[in-house]
Chain A
């Protein structure tokens, strides 16, 4: 289990925003992405998750090793907490296990997702990570709308995941108390500011 990225370039809206991204993430390692808004954190995570093709470079990870949590939780309002989680578990062909308990949602299991608070929804969205059973977690601002206690809970879950041989790449501004290296976005921002990959550039 290893995520190896070499010389990756990512584009957003026809502009190259990231250039020469190289990183290696081994089992048990976490990396925190840090940079101002618009510095390409989401673009990087989406590219790594395979949701958009890279402009250049290689991404090597095992098959079905990556799971991605965006700022949207992918919850269905009319399904209960348990049903939401069960769905993702069955999609990944895995048991739900103790995911509800670990994200402190067991008391809410039969409540429809629309009756949850923002923080509770977020916790449910993060519980999905546990049922996918995938080793590499790509997290985009996972702590938004979580209170201090929930952040601690989530940090513990991530630590456990790392101890179990997982890995995580996290875009966050909060210190999760993880033993994680910080990956600053500024050095990998596209230096050559000319929009080389831009779709209109082909016409010049």
Chain B
């Protein structure tokens, strides 16, 4: 709690800095793409949010595992805190994707494997959050959502392959992976990296904040309970 309290402003500040610099650089200081025009610049929101959306689920998975194995209470809350942030990022990725797709592919939505995978990821997040909401006893809720998260992860990966099998798609190949820099000129690459770092830090800051809130809420409950018993 103390450690996270000391870190939080720094992480938040760094996130803000990266985002401001990255986005301004990306939006105003890069040339338009010769094929895609100015629309390409939505990449600075689209790619980082998509990245964080996936990593958010990973964080939930790891936190759930820690909860199930070590029964570390805070890890359950981290998983709980990460879910709404993750789903928001998923929605941002989907929406910016749609906005980008409209001028590029001439359609707001296509059942392309990546888009579909993200829609499915959205469904998984939704179910996970709904289960947290539905169960009153916090420990039971943490246990059950952890089990769901693990089973869900397996099925999410299966879905990903199933979707690839189902439609080979029109999405451009991954625009980011470390060895594919040649797909993108450095003028886009550096601000993009900055934006990705910014989104990751933002995610971290939000999860920390939400976890701290959650911890405080639980402390309050414990204190109220003590009051009532005394």
Contact = CB atoms under 8 A, between A and B. Distances in A.
A200 B138 CA distance: 8
Contact of A203 (B222, B226, B229, B230): B222
B218 interface: yes
A56 B225 CA distance: 21
Interface string B132-154: 00000111000000000000000
B139 A199 contact: yes
B183 interface: no
Nearest to B215: A203
Given A203-B218, A203-B222, 5 more contacts: A195-B222, A195-B225, A199-B137, A203-B215, A204-B223
Contact of A193 (B139, B215, B223, B230): B230
25 contacts: A14-B137, A14-B138, A14-B139, A15-B225, A193-B229, A193-B230, A194-B226, A195-B222, A195-B225, A195-B226, A195-B229, A198-B222, A198-B225, A199-B138, A199-B139, A199-B218, A200-B138, A200-B219, A201-B222, A203-B215, A203-B218, A203-B219, A203-B222, A204-B219, A204-B222
Interface residues of B, number: 14
A13 B229 CA distance: 14
B221 interface: yes
A149 interface: no
B42 to A, nearest CB: 41
Interface of B: 73, 137-139, 215, 218-219, 221-223, 225-226, 229-230
A13 B218 CA distance: 15
A200 B221 contact: yes
B82 to A, nearest CB: 18
A91 interface: no
A46 B215 CA distance: 31
Chain A to chain B: the 7 pairs with minimum beta-carbon distance, closest first = A200-B222, A202-B73, A199-B139, A203-B218, A200-B221, A200-B218, A203-B219
Interface in A13-50: 13-15
B145 to A, nearest CB: 14
Contacts of B223: 204
A198 B222 CA distance: 8
A198 B220 CA distance: 13
A182 B73 CA distance: 40
